[in-house]
């Protein structure tokens, strides 16, 4: 993955709090997905950090939980791929006011080898914190 942080100490601290990998032109990583009942546990393993999230479907939306935060995503699919757009966020199960909701946008395209993704993370007042993206190739 290529990982970039926007400049600023506060942005860098928030990226660390979110357990994002350090900025790198080519950050090696591994994704392990485990299915448990109606949930998927995603572990993203990088040399400097490990991020574990839990995913499930809630009505027409995808929910991704990381620590005390739950991000609610609208999912759009077409011939070009998938787009996940965060539309709400909950802290310890309570909805955050729209003015405090982080924004996460994800674009995914599949091909014969796997898929390519681009993730952008932004927060109110500070704007974009980081982006990361690259090829994800399944290993069997």
* Cβ proximity of 101 and 93 under 8 Å: no
Question: Residue 93 belongs to a domain with what CATH number?
Answer: 2.40.128
What pLDDT is attached to residue 18?
Answer: 84
* Structural domains of the chain, count: 1
3-state secondary structure of 16: helix
User: What pLDDT sits at residue 2?
Assistant: 92
Percent of the chain residues topping a pLDDT of 70: 99
Judged against a pLDDT cut of 90, whether residue 1 lies above it is answered with no
Tell me: the pLDDT tens digits for 4-63? 999 999 999 999 888 888 899 998 888 899 999 999 999 999 888 898 999 999 999 999
Quote the CA–CA distance of 137 and 140 in Å, as a whole number: 10
CA separation for the pair 102, 114 (Å, rounded): 28
Q: Is the dihedral of CA 1, 118, 120, 40 positive or negative?
A: negative
pTM, whole model, 2 decimals? Answer: 0.86
Task: List % helix, strand, coil for the chain (3-state, nearest 5).
Answer: 10, 60, 30
What is the extent of the structural domain holding 66?
A: 2-136
């Amino acid at each position: 993955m290529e990982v970039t942080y926007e400049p600023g100490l506060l942005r860098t601290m928030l990226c660390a709090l979110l357990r994002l990998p350090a900025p790198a032109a080519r950050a090696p990583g591994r994704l392990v997905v485990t299915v448990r009942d109606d949930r998927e546990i995603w572990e993203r393993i990088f040399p400097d950090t490990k991020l574990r999230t839990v995913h499930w479907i809630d009505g027409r939306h995808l929910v991704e939980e990381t620590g005390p935060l739950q991000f609610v995503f609208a999912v759009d699919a077409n011939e070009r791929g998938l787009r996940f757009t965060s539309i709400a966020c909950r802290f310890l199960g309570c909805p955050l006011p729209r003015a405090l909701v982080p924004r996460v946008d994800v674009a995914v395209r599949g091909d014969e080898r796997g898929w390519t993704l681009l993730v952008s993370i932004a927060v109110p007042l500070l704007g974009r914190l980081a982006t990361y993206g690259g090829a994800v190739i399944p290993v069997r």
